[in-house]
A and B are shown apart, each in its own frame.
Chain A
Amino acid sequence: MANKNRILSVNDLHVEVEGKEIVKGVSLQINSGEKHAIMGKNGSGKSSLAYALSGHPNYKITSGTVEMGGQDLLEMDATERSLAGLFLGFQYPMTIPGVTVVNFLRAALRARNGNGIDMKNFRKVFKEKMKLLKIDNSFATRYINDGFSGGEKKRLEILQMVMLQPKVAILDETDSGLDIDALKIVANGIVDSAPKDGGVILVTHYQRLLDYIKPDKVHIMLDGRIVKTGGPELALELEAEGYNKLEAKESQKVGV
Chain B
Amino acid sequence: MSTLTLANKNKRFRGQNQFEPEALYSLRKESWNCFNDLDMPHRANHLWRYTDPKVLLANNPSELMKITPSLPDQTEYNLISLDEAFSGYGYNRSDYMTFAKLTPALEKSGVIFKDLLSATRENEDIVGKYLGNLIGSDFGKFEAMNLALWNTGLFLYVPDNINIELPIRLQRHPSGPNTFHRLLVVVGNNSKVTLIDDYSGECRKEEAQINSVVEIFAGDSSSVKYLNTQRYSSKCNSYITQRTRINKDAKSVSVFAGLGGNVSKTNAGTVLDGPGANSQLYGIVFGDDNQHFDYHIVHHHTSSNSYSNIDFKTVLKDNANSASTGLIRVEEDALNCEAFQVNRNLLLNEGAKAESIPELEILCDQVQCSHGATISPIDKEMLFYLMSRGVAYKDAVNIITLGFIEPTIKNFPGELETLTRELITGKMEG
Residues of A with Cβ closer than 8 Å to B? Answer: 54-57, 77-79, 81-83, 87-88, 90, 93-94, 96-99, 104, 107-108, 111-112, 143, 160, 164
Contact-residue size bin, chain B (C-beta under 8 Å from the other chain): 20 to 34
Partner of B403, one of A57, A78, A99: A99
Can you spell out 20 A-B residue pairs with CB atoms less than 8 angstroms apart? A54-B388, A77-B393, A78-B384, A78-B388, A79-B396, A82-B390, A87-B388, A88-B388, A90-B385, A93-B385, A94-B379, A94-B382, A96-B382, A97-B403, A97-B404, A99-B403, A99-B406, A104-B389, A104-B399, A164-B389
Collect the chain A residues with CB atoms within 8 Å of residue B379's CB. Answer: 94
**Distance A56 CA – B404 CA, assembled complex (angstroms):** 23
CB-CB contacts below 8 Å: B374-422 with A: 379-382, 384-393, 395-396, 399-400, 402-407
Instruction: Please state if A57 and B392 are interface contacts (CB–CB under 8 Å).
Output: no
The secondary structure that dominates the A interface is mixed
**For residue B390, which residue of chain A has the nearest CB?**
A82
**For residue B408, which residue of chain A has the nearest CB?**
A98
**Distance A143 CA – B402 CA, assembled complex (angstroms):** 12
**Distance A54 CA – B385 CA, assembled complex (angstroms):** 10
A98-B403 contact, Cβ under 8 Å, with A79-B390, A111-B390: yes
Partner of A56, one of B384, B389, B406: B384
The secondary structure that dominates the B interface is helix
Collect the chain B residues with CB atoms within 8 Å of residue A96's CB. Answer: 382, 385-386, 399-400, 403
Instruction: Please state if A77 and B406 are interface contacts (CB–CB under 8 Å).
Output: no
Collect the chain B residues with CB atoms within 8 Å of residue A56's CB. Answer: 384
Instruction: Please state if A55 and B402 are interface contacts (CB–CB under 8 Å).
Output: no
**Distance A148 CA – B248 CA, assembled complex (angstroms):** 41
CB-CB contacts below 8 Å: B7-53 with A: none
Collect the chain A residues with CB atoms within 8 Å of residue B392's CB. Answer: 79, 111
Leading 7 A-B pairs by shortest Cβ distance: A98-B403, A98-B406, A82-B390, A99-B403, A78-B387, A94-B385, A108-B389
A93-B385, A98-B405 known; 18 new pairs, CB 8 Å cut-off, are: A55-B388, A56-B384, A79-B387, A79-B390, A87-B388, A90-B388, A94-B379, A94-B382, A94-B385, A97-B403, A98-B403, A98-B406, A99-B402, A99-B406, A107-B386, A107-B391, A107-B399, A160-B389
